[in-house]
Structure 1
Amino acid sequence: MNKTDPPTPRGLKTIGLTPFIYRSDQPLFHVSAGVPIGDALAQASDLLFLAKAFTEDAAYSKDSDRHAWAAHYLTAMGKAVIDDVVQALTP
């Protein structure tokens, strides 16, 4: 590999700069740096799968506040992980 070749996706890891869940205009959490992107994407998939299940429950339940908020936080986490992976993949 020469200096112009990008690293292979297999060797890439999260960069840990992506914040999520803000309070008073400050991020409460960040994606952790150094996680292999394959593992990070698998985790994002799990988070988004659960969020989808909660939104389906919320759509059919009258008392669904807890489902809606859980889905909100899970999608925020999943999006942050995916955004961090995209930053790792973008030169």
Structure 2
Amino acid sequence: MSQTSPPAPRELKTVGLTPFIYRSDLPLFQVSPGLPIGDALAQASDLLSLAKAFAEDAAYSQDSDRHAWAAHYLTAMGKAVVDDVVQALAA
């Protein structure tokens, strides 16, 4: 019986099965398959960092909710990327 070792994390790619931003119960966007997970996580970090900044702005802004909506969408995108990477790691 031969044992195969799991792929190294640097060799893993996104699976591309994670949708985000729904309209009429259908996903408008989906994470693309085949991206190195290190690159995907770096992008998720950038998205979530921007979302954090927009959420802070929204907390102090009384004139508009545009910062809150930007934070909402950036958070949804970042979460989808992280969820997709988790699926790649679990496979």
Give TM-score scaled by structure 2 length.
Answer: 0.94
Q: Runs ≥4 in structure 1, deviation > 4 angstroms?
A: none
Q: Percent identity?
A: 82
Matched length: 90
Change beyond 3 A, Cα 1:6–1:24: same
Residues 45-84 of structure 1: matches in 2 within 5 Å?
45-84=45-84
Whether contact under 8 Å (1:57, 1:64) holds in the other structure is no
Residue 12 of structure 1: aligned partner: 12
Q: Which amino acid aligns with 2:62?
A: K
Measure, in 2, the Cα distance between the counterparts of 1:48 and 1:8. 26
Q: Which 5+ residue runs of structure 2 have no aligned equivalent?
A: none
Please tell me the root mean square deviation across aligned C-alpha atoms, in Å.
1.1
Whether contact under 8 Å (1:17, 1:31) holds in the other structure is yes
Measure, in 1, the Cα distance between the counterparts of 2:41 and 2:85. 8
